[in-house]
């Protein structure tokens, strides 16, 4: 699924950066390989997440260095209950999302098509220093899924590690293997939102798929040192029924 760039277009070259995970298809379209949505883009088109687009025959991230907001939270609010317990974390996010959950609590951010959502200019070093100044032990990529702004998140993570802060990803885990490896090597702890237990729910309610999310959880728990906790939103009658095959 793609979005034409003539709807509420904004163009701010300073915040457009090249990305790595894409290739050119035989028909000339450029395919983004960050998440299993595999958006195939003509020049000027944006992906379903809205923040990655084809520009000059490559895929660029258009929200580098722009945040939709900051907040100092208890780490338990991410929620992480066994990672640096009792410490404050600086939460920040950008705009857009690669899922389309019908129950999204941050829909104004995740489905934003407006530059106003990205009001705060925020360099990676600026974010890390703000976290240190406010007594935080870590910085969390949250509010919207860091999968879609991984180049920015990775640089923030490097700046945090430089001054001894940890990093936290709050994510749906809907990401392809190469991008997954690249992103999570910058992350110290992750809360993966396992939204349900059936492909049917994932397809109908989130417009994504369960299998890649389970792969991400397996990857994190078996192949990395990232601290992992899972969250599942209970929706009576929907996510509370767990099929025997997936228990």
By CB under 6 A, the residues from 8 to 67 that bind ligand SF4 are: 32, 34-35, 37-39, 47-49, 52
Of 36 and 126, the one with the shorter C-beta distance to ligand SF4 is 36
Please check whether residue 53 is in contact with residue 45, taking contact to mean a CB–CB distance below 8 angstroms.
Answer: yes
Contact flags string 122-161 toward ligand SF4, x per CB under 6 A: --------------------------x-------------
Of 59 and 136, the one with the shorter C-beta distance to ligand SF4 is 59
Of 148 and 228, the one with the shorter C-beta distance to ligand SF4 is 148
Which of 67, 98, 138, 191 is the binder for ligand SF4 (CB under 6 A)? 98
d(CA 242, CA 231): 15
Please check whether residue 56 is in contact with residue 30, taking contact to mean a CB–CB distance below 8 angstroms.
Answer: no
Of 49 and 139, the one with the shorter C-beta distance to ligand SF4 is 49
CA separation, residue 74 to residues 61, 89, 126, 236 (Å):
30, 6, 21, 28
Secondary structure element (H or E) that encloses residue 211, with its range: helix 210-223
Contact footprint for ligand SF4 (CB under 6 A):
32, 34-35, 37-39, 47-49, 52, 98, 148
């Amino acid at each position: 699924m793609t979005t034409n760039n003539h709807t509420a277009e904004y163009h701010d070259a300073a915040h457009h950066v090249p990305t790595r995970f894409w290739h050119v298809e035989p028909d000339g379209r450029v395919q983004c390989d960050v998440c299993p949505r595999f958006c195939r883009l003509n020049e000027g088109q944006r992906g379903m997440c809205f923040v990655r687009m084809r520009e000059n025959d490559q895929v660029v991230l258009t929200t580098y260095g722009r945040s939709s907001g900051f907040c100092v939270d208890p780490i338990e609010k991410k929620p992480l209950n066994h990672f640096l317990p009792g410490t404050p974390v600086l939460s920040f996010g950008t705009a857009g999302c690669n899922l389309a959950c019908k129950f999204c609590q941050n829909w104004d951010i995740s489905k934003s098509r407006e530059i106003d959502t990205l009001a705060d200019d925020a360099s990676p070093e600026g974010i890390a220093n703000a976290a240190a100044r406010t007594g935080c032990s870590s910085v969390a990529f949250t509010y919207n899924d860091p999968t879609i702004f991984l180049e920015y998140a990775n640089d923030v993570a490097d700046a945090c590690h430089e001054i001894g802060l940890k990093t936290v990803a709050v994510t749906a885990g809907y990401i392809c293997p190469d991008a997954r490896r690249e992103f999570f090597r910058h992350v110290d702890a992750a809360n993966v939102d396992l939204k349900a237990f059936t492909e049917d729910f994932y397809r109908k309610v989130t417009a994504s798929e369960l299998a890649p999310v389970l792969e991400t959880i397996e990857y994190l728990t078996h192949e990395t040192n990232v601290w992992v906790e899972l969250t599942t939103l209970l929706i009576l009658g929907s996510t509370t029924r767990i099929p025997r095959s997936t228990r």
